[in-house]
Amino acid sequence: MDIKQKLDELVENLGNVGIVPVIKLDRVENAEKLAKALREGGINCAEVTFRAKGADEVIRRMVRAFPDMLVGAGTVLSAEQADAAYKAGAKFCVAPGLNPKVVKHCLDKGIPFAPGVSSASEIEQAMELGLDFVKFFPAEQAGGLPYIKAVCAPYSQMRFMPTGGVSEDNLNTYLSYNKIVCCGGSWIVPSKLLESGDWAGITKLCRTAVDKMLGFEMVHVGLNCADADEAEAVADEFNAAFGFEKKVGNSSVFSHTYMEMMKKPFHGTHGHIAIATNSVKRALYQLEKRGYKVMEGSQKYNADGVMNVAYLDHEFGGFAVHLVLKK
């Protein structure tokens, strides 16, 4: 696999995770416990910064304990640090700034690298080095999402990982823009919890962040009817009882937006439950980790190539689950 393929694979994997914990771990012996806490919270990824001594050993222990974990090295400021990280098993390297010598060294050795940028000039330097994915740092202080949107007009091929000032409060604002691959942040691995060894607390913060990122909300319930006549009859009954307006479509009849009567049996023994999410793709990634797989062939995409519909290959009380992208 050449470096371009490695970089594309990295972007794909980081995009699925959505959140990259930025970690400064001073106690190497806690590496495995921290990795386990992150994974149990739904984040199978970590950026271990070289701001702490022994960062390469932390990476080595995490990768050894969980080979499938996407562990990278952060604050990589020299070729020597990059080599140490890669030797330890890091799958990528990140830096707060753009040092052309370090970037070139990594790319020549086949190490995926995301340098930090905060200006148009630095973006052009990254492009000159053959990169189309960079860290935007410090994100909030450098102009946040409005700045990223502005520079994406002339640099439409660039993709970003904002880090610095990203929190649970603005995470979805960033991720809502299609040029944002993922966001880095330390709010889910606060130093206080790391120092006290509160792994359950870190798992809880991770799960809360993942749940907020996905933003699951129930939209409607679909009922399987024998035919179109039954679908309309059920809709008429909902209208008579509750005043829900009937809307007849090609394959179903809606009562307001709450109930959908299928004109013939579809997915699910009894019907389906539609659940909206901020990202169908990320939702499927997380749900698969929880033991729920996608129904192959059920995925649909919008005009921008973004997955906006998918069914799970599982029934909940006789109902299929229909994931839809929030509008």
Same domain, 153 and 255: no
Same domain, 125 and 201: yes
Give mean pLDDT, residues 183-195: 97
- To the question of pTM greater than 0.85 for the whole model, the response is yes
Same domain, 141 and 239: no
What's the CA gap between 54 and 71, in Å, rounded? 15
Quote the tokens at residue 134: 């960079």
Q: In this model, does residue 246 exceed pLDDT 90?
A: yes
Same domain, 210 and 222: no
Residues forming the active site: 47, 135
214, 235, 262 — which closes off a domain?
214
Same domain, 241 and 204: no
Give mean pLDDT, residues 282-286: 98
Q: Report residue 1's pLDDT band, with 50, 70 and 90 as the boundaries.
A: confident
What's the CA gap between 62 and 34, in Å, rounded? 8
DSSP letters along 111-162, please? --EE-EE-SHHHHHHHHHTT-SEEEETTTTTTTHHHHHHHHHTT-TT-EEEE
Percent share of the chain, pLDDT over 70: 100
Give mean pLDDT, residues 61-84: 98
Mean pLDDT across the chain? 97
Domain extent at residue 314: 217-325
Same domain, 228 and 135: no
Same domain, 165 and 242: no
Same domain, 170 and 238: no
CATH number of 252's domain: 3.10.180.10
* Total domains in the fold of the chain: 2
214, 235, 258 — which closes off a domain?
214
pLDDT in tens, 292-310: 999 999 999 999 999 999 9
Same domain, 144 and 277: no
Same domain, 254 and 197: no
Same domain, 208 and 275: no
- pLDDT of 24 reads 97
214, 241, 257 — which closes off a domain?
214
pLDDT in tens, 88-132: 999 999 999 999 999 999 999 999 999 999 999 999 999 999 999
Task: Report the DSSP pairing between strands 307-316 and 113-114.
Answer: unpaired
Give mean pLDDT, residues 199-226: 98
- pLDDT of 41 reads 98
Same domain, 190 and 41: yes
